[in-house]
């Protein structure tokens, strides 16, 4: 049984309503967020309309604000937005979906004012708006608004999709739009595409940057944005309607030869069941000497399987694996082999990886698989080829190897240390110092350094070669 001082609902109930109310007042003092939440709860005791008014007041306050939202304030803003979103979804929508739909549209309207002044480099705030689009679809389904009116509201929203906040809007609203709403939305975008665009006078054009061919004008960027918005919307409508031909019609002849676009077309054709057309679509690409993207390879494999050309699909999986060392291709290849044959094929694959031209790509594969014994051998035998710059590969590789393969882990650490000191990367000195400390710790687990220098010998070499790099030695300690 939990102690009576444990913070849980049952223990708090024992304090009584009066004492809890006093505590809430005390706790909320000095916290605007807590006070807003309490006011919303009080409004909820009256009606959903009162809650909607409280939420709308807060949304208006956020929209009116002009202060810059730097990275330090992003977390607080997200918390505030999430509070309002949850109230709309959990409180208002449960009793009045029509009211909730209106308030949720109001919520989405905040995006422009927020992103104009917000540092959202990691997409923290954008994720809130993506989720709000999902909620908008759920609430619209419950509210069942007039399909044409919903289509017009969707159209206006997408015309102002300057920051991508509405990128998933049609996908989420398509059930509520239904056939009538989707048709009407399509006609609105078709009309917008046909509408003439007034070209500004040359003297009035605004230069917003410079490209390889000269100035970049604001009206040109706006036109590109408009065209992309229309094409994306018509693509999503086509998907919602299951109209593959309409989706393909949005792609230019040149675009259809781009591997990722060809893959999208082929996957849609497969769902509609004309595998022959999908085969033609997937093979009209132009790689121009570049590696094929994984999405295209996957789509081509799906088409081959749909055409019952399984042997060709297996050959293509192996070919793709040889080119990219993509483990998903190898796993799919092995999965389709008879028992025991897969073991031999896996060993052949490891041998191929060990000889792969790019040692870093090979190491990444072996660590990820994982085949740590093979990774350790690779590090020892091809140590001279390792570049110490990709720390995002070598650091986790050394961590994975250190328990059973301390020598290989040490080699990976030394490669990063050598790179840092040889290139005088002072910003990495403290990390290199940690790596050296780790090498010292690992040295106690290594009984035979083979052809590699012992730890004391390695440190002596560093001191002889980099004695003047005091920043590193200070971080490394005595």
Q: Does 198 score more than 80 pLDDT?
A: no
Q: What is this structure's pTM?
A: 0.74
Give the pLDDT band (50/70/90) at residue 400. very high
pLDDT of residue 70: 87
Q: Does 42 score more than 60 pLDDT?
A: no
Q: Does 303 score more than 70 pLDDT?
A: yes
pLDDT of residue 350: 97
Q: Does 249 score more than 90 pLDDT?
A: yes
pLDDT of residue 20: 62
Give the pLDDT band (50/70/90) at residue 38. low
Q: Does 299 score more than 60 pLDDT?
A: yes
> 53 versus 300: which is more confidently predicted?
300
pLDDT of residue 12: 62
pLDDT of residue 29: 65
Give the pLDDT band (50/70/90) at residue 37. low
What pLDDT, in 10s, does the model give residues 156-186? 999 999 999 999 999 999 999 999 999 999 9
pLDDT, averaged across the chain: 89
Q: Does 136 score more than 70 pLDDT?
A: yes
Give the pLDDT band (50/70/90) at residue 207. confident
Rounded average pLDDT over 448-468: 94
Rounded average pLDDT over 72-94: 90
Give the pLDDT band (50/70/90) at residue 188. very high
Please write down the HEC assignment for all residues of the chain: CCCCCCCCHHHHHCCCHHHHHHHHHHHHCCCHHHHHHHHHHHHHCCCHHHHHHHHHHHHHHHHHCCCCECHHHHHHHHHHHHHHHHHHHHHHHHHCHHHHHHHHHHHHCCHHHHHCCECCCCCHHHHHHHHHHHHHHHHHHHHCCCHHHHHHHHHHHHHCCCCCCCCCHHHHHHHHHHHHHHHHHHHHHHHHHHCCCCCCCHHHCCEEEEECCEEEEHHHHHHHHHHHHHHHHHHHHHHHHCCHHHHHHCCCCCHHHCHHHHHHHHHHHHHHCCHHHHHHHHCCCCCCCCCCCHHHHHHHHHHHHHCCCHHHHHHHHHHHHHHHCCHHHHHHHHHCCCCCHHHHHHHHHHHHHHCCCCHHHHHHHHHHCCCHHHHHHHHHHCHHHCCCCCHHHHHHHHHHHCCCCHHHHHHHHHHHHHHHHHCCCHHHHHHHHHHHHHHHHHHCCCCCCCCCCCHHHHHHHHHHHHCCCHHHHHHHCC
Rounded average pLDDT over 238-245: 94
């Amino acid at each position: 049984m939990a102690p009576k001082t444990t913070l849980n609902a049952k223990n708090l109930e024992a304090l009584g309503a009066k004492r809890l109310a006093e505590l809430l007042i005390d706790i909320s003092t000095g916290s605007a967020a807590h006070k807003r939440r309490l006011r919303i709860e009080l409004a909820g005791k009256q009606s959903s309309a009162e809650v909607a008014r409280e939420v709308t007041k807060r949304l208006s306050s956020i929209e009116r604000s002009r202060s810059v939202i730097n990275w330090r304030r992003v977390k607080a803003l997200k918390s505030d937005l999430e509070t309002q979103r949850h109230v709309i979804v959990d409180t208002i929508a449960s009793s009045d979906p029509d009211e909730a739909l209106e308030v949720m549209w109001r919520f989405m309207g905040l995006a422009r004012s927020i992103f104009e002044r917000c540092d959202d480099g990691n997409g923290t705030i954008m994720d809130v708006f993506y989720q709000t689009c999902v909620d908008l679809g759920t609430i619209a389904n419950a509210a069942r608004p007039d399909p044409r009116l919903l289509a017009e509201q969707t159209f206006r929203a997408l015309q102002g999709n300057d920051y991508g906040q509405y990128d998933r809007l049609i996908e989420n609203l398509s059930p509520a739009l239904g056939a009538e709403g989707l048709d009407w939305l399509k006609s609105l975008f078709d009309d917008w595409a046909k509408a003439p665009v007034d070209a500004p006078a040359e003297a009035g054009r605004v230069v917003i940057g410079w490209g390889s061919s000269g100035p970049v004008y604001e009206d040109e960027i706006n036109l590109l944005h408009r065209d992309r918005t229309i094409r994306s919307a018509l693509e999503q409508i086509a998907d919602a309607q299951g109209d593959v031909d309409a989706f393909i019609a949005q792609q230019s002849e040149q675009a259809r030869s781009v591997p990722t676009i060809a893959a999208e077309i082929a996957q849609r054709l497969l769902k509609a069941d004309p595998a022959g057309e999908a085969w033609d679509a997937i093979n009209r690409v132009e790689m121009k000497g570049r590696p094929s993207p994984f999405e295209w390879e996957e789509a081509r494999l799906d088409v081959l399987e749909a055409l019952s050309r399984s042997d060709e699909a297996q050959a293509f999986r192996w070919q793709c694996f040889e080119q990219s060392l993509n483990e998903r291709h190898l796993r799919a290849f092995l999965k389709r082999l008879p028992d025991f044959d897969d073991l031999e094929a896996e060993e052949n694959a490891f041998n191929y990886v060990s000889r792969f031209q790019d040692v870093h790509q090979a190491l990444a594969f072996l660590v990820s698989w994982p085949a740590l014994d093979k990774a350790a051998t690779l590090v020892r035998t091809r140590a001279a080829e390792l570049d110490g710059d990709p720390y995002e590969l070598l650091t986790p590789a050394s961590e994975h190897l250190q328990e059973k393969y301390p020598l290989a882990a040490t080699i990976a650490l030394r490669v990063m240390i050598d790179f840092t000191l040889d290139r005088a990367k002072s910003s990495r000195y403290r990390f290199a110092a940690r790596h050296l400390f780790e090498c010292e710790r690992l040295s106690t687990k290594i009984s035979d350094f083979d052809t590699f220098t012992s730890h004391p010998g390695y440190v002596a070499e560093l001191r002889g070669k980099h004695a003047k790099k005091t920043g590193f030695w200070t971080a490394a300690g005595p």
